[in-house]
Chain A
Amino acid sequence: MASSSSYNSPCAACKLLRRKCMPGCIFAPYFPPEEPQKFVNVHKIFGASNVTKLLNELLPHQREDAVNSLAYEAEARVRDPVYGCVGAITFLQRQVQRLQKELDAANADLIRYACNDISTSLPQAPGTRSFQPLTPRNRLAEFNRRNIDNEGGGFYQVPGALPYSFPWNDTSSGDINDGGGEGGM
């Protein structure tokens, strides 16, 4: 039966591990007894021993954030044992790639329109026309065509496989900041 001299009740970790919750228990500040599920998930996925090692490697002011992120990842992994929180990363990477592609297309259109504005608003010197000006109706038609080709003006579906490479191999390529070297973030 767990009993502590300084604490009213053992922390959630020591309760689950059925041990005495000592005054310097590393888990006690972050796993209160009223949140038992938090430590249950963390222990199931990471293990109390690994969490202890990880927390001991961090500065005290970093530990709360570390525990919360571990708890989040653990819960995600319990809900989705196959992908865990990596599923969310994959989804967000695809969204970022899609938005970047749409932004690039919109900026390209803007540049073309702006260049056409400049080229047609200034007096044309003979033989110096570098742009092929579009009539207003052709401009609208081309703009609409581009958006229709992109499936309705905005929702670009990334077909097939993941857009970013993952560091599955030991070369540890595919830094998320690099976006796998392909699409970028």
Chain B
Amino acid sequence: MRGQEPRSTSSCAACKLLKRRCTPNCIFAPYFRSDEPKKFAKVHKVFGDSNVSKILIEVPEEERGDTVNSLAYEAEIRLRDPVYGCIGAIALLQRKMIQLQHDLALARACLAWYTSAIGSTDDDRVITEPFGGLSADCG
């Protein structure tokens, strides 16, 4: 590999992959730097350069950075999981959230019991635990 670039201007990662001249107003250039070839390769494989170009043209310029990053993320996930892609990630997070909500409700119920039991006593704390001691239900 030659260490020196023969061209006066370096092509963006998109134009390098597509083997075309990178024009000054290349729509990909600001978001697919030449030192990040994998980013565009993944986006190109999943969405195609034509579709990405159309999406970028449709969004305001100030939002194109976020658009490209979300496309890159989506492409990455799809390549890792070709069947479910981001939907698998969403399903996993939803399950996690439901589990945490359940655990939190349980913990708070135990805390509520503690605070009510504590509040009903003065100095001598005679607490009758409802679960037979420090069971798993109350941590």
Contact = CB atoms under 8 A, between A and B. Distances in A.
A46 B79 CA distance: 13
Given A47-B48, A92-B90, A114-B138, A106 B104 contact: yes
A73 B87 contact: yes
Contact of A65 (B46, B77, B83): B83
Contacts of A50: 45-48
Contacts of B92: 176-177, 185
Interface in B86-108: 86-90, 92-94, 96-97, 100-101, 103-104, 107-108
Contacts of B69: 166, 168
A106 to B, nearest CB: 4
Interface residues of A, number: 58
Q: DSSP majority for the B interface?
A: helix
B97 A95 contact: yes
Given A50-B47, A96-B96, A167-B73, A117 B36 contact: no
B26 interface: no
Given A69-B84, A70-B85, A84 B94 contact: no
Given A57-B82, A99-B104, A110-B114, A168 B125 contact: no
Contacts of A166: 69, 73
B48 A49 contact: yes
A77 interface: yes
A68 B89 CA distance: 15
A2 interface: no
A16 B97 CA distance: 40
B115 to A, nearest CB: 6
A100 B70 CA distance: 25
A39 B84 CA distance: 17
Contacts of B88: 69
Interface string A69-101: 110110001000111111111001101100110
Contacts of A54: 82
B17 interface: no
A121 B138 CA distance: 18
A131 interface: no
Given A49-B48, A103-B104, 6 more contacts: A45-B51, A46-B48, A83-B67, A107-B107, A136-B122, A185-B92
17 contacts: A44-B54, A47-B51, A65-B83, A83-B70, A84-B86, A85-B86, A85-B90, A89-B89, A92-B94, A93-B93, A99-B104, A106-B108, A136-B125, A140-B118, A143-B115, A167-B76, A168-B69
Interface of B: 36-39, 45-48, 50-51, 54-55, 58-59, 63, 66-67, 69-74, 76-78, 82-90, 92-94, 96-97, 100-101, 103-104, 107-108, 110-111, 114-115, 118-119, 121-122, 125, 127, 134, 138-139
